[in-house]
């Protein structure tokens, strides 16, 4: 239970930090904070403990490839931010992320199983 509380506290701290940074002169740093590997570290520890070092290597490699859907999301946000409403921009960008992530998962299952 303590472990779960710690994970929730870390998540809340990250959200708070993003909120504070988004109101500062260096608002753009708020986009860097989610990329700090807080949750990746948690996932990697769990994978290593549960599955071993080889599974951790595969998880890290998949994480590298997972940058592609995130890049697509950011590119769509960049291209549509001034052209559409906030909800339309984020909705389309999220849909693009979902499609790219689904493609990544499908491709991973074909080539790495």
pLDDT at 110 over 90: yes
User: What is the CB neighbour count within 10 angstroms for residue 93?
Assistant: 21
Are 43 and 59 in contact by the 8 Å Cβ rule? The answer is: yes
Angle at 71 between CA 46 and CA 112, to 5 degrees: 50
Q: How high is the pLDDT of residue 67?
A: 95
For residue 25, pLDDT over 80 is answered with: yes
The sign one gets for the Cα dihedral 80, 84, 87, 88 is: negative
pLDDT digit string, tens, across residues 46-98: 999 999 999 999 999 999 999 999 999 999 999 999 999 999 999 999 999 99
* pLDDT-derived band at 31, boundaries 50, 70, 90: confident
Q: What is the pTM of this model?
A: 0.79
* CA-closest candidate to residue 34, choices 46, 21, 47, 45: 21
Q: Which residue would you say has higher pLDDT here, 85 or 1? A: 85
Closest-CA residue to 73 (of 38, 31, 37, 43): 31
36: left (phi over 0), alpha (psi -120 to 50) or beta: beta
Residue 7 pLDDT level (bands cut at 50, 70, 90): confident
What does the alpha-carbon distance between residue 88 and residue 80 come to, in Å, rounded to a whole number? 9
pLDDT at 38 over 80: no
């Amino acid at each position: 239970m303590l472990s779960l509380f710690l994970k929730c506290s870390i998540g809340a701290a990250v959200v708070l930090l993003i909120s504070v940074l988004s109101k500062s002169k260096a608002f753009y740093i708020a986009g860097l904070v989610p990329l700090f590997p807080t949750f990746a570290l948690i996932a990697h520890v769990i994978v290593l403990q549960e599955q071993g070092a080889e599974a951790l290597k595969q998880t890290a490699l998949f994480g590298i490839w997972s940058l592609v859907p995130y890049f697509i999301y950011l590119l769509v946000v960049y291209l549509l931010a001034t052209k559409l409403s906030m909800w339309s921009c984020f909705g389309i960008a999220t849909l693009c992320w979902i499609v790219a992530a689904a493609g990544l998962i499908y491709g991973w299952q074909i080539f790495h199983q």
